[in-house]
Every structure is written in structure tokens, then in C-alpha cells.
Amino acid sequence: MYAEHLQSKPIKVSGHLEESRGIYQMILNWRTREGKRGRKSISTGLPVKGNKKRAEAMLNTTCKEKEQELAVLPEQGADLLFADFMEQWLDVIRKDVNGVPLKHIQEWLGHSDFAITANTYECVK
């Protein structure tokens, strides 16, 4: 299943800081599961003078967030139903939805029968 693939091959995001017009820019780099390179430039909005440690902290946080974002994306060309994608996404964010009523999760996933949701996600209660 796709969720097993996510666990076996996580995407690692690296990054560095560059100076552009006196402002720190975060440059993120990664390789997709297909081997293609990804790159993104994000402004920190922080002036270079006296903000290196803050910019480095922002860079580390942004790299981790990007890794989480990439972890839930399907492979290019994968035949994945939306409901399957939602189930995998919910597996990734399970710890963040503890306490959310299963009825809401049923609606998010589009399960017609509450028993399906309850059997699959009873540990989310």
C-alpha cells in the first residue's frame, strides 16, 4: 500500500540561507520519490544584520514542515483514489486529531457507513 511506501522512503529536505537585498532567503532542496530535484526559495523577511540565528531556526523549522508536506503527497502518476489519500493523510496527522469526533472524520473521508470509520479510526477517539 502507499502508506508503507511513505514509511520506507521518506523525502529529506535540506536547506541553506542566502542573502538577497539585505534580507535572508531560505533555499530548500529535495529529491522526489521519482528522483527529480525540487527547489524552493522563501524569504524570511529578516534583515541580515543581527538575525542569523533566527533565520537558521526558521530554516530548520521550514525544512521539517516541507518534509511533512511532501510525505503526504502521492507519487506522480499514482492511481490513488481521493478517499485512500484522505485515509493516508489522516494516518499522518492522527496525533493532531485526537479528540475529534469520529462523525466528523466519517464526513471528511466520505464513508457512507459509520462502522467503517469507527473500525478503522477507533484509536483516534
User: Based on the structure, what is the number of domains in the chain?
Assistant: 2
Give the global pTM: 0.54
Asked if residue 113 belongs to a domain, the reply is: yes
Question: Residue 91's domain spans which residues?
Answer: 82-124
Contact between residue 37 and residue 30 where contact means Cβ atoms under 8 Å apart: yes
- pLDDT tier at 2 (50, 70, 90 boundaries)? very low
Cell 499514482, located at residue: 78
| pLDDT above 70: percentage of residues in the chain | 80
pLDDT tens-digit profile of 18-41?
Answer: 999 999 999 999 988 778 899 999
pLDDT tens-digit profile of 96-106?
Answer: 666 777 788 78
Provide the mean pLDDT of the chain: 80
Q: Residue 38 corresponds to which cell in the numbers above?
A: 525540487
Asked if residue 56 belongs to a domain, the reply is: yes
91 and 33 co-located in one domain:
no
Distance CA 1, CA 22 (A): 47
What local confidence, expressed as pLDDT, does residue 47 receive? Answer: 95
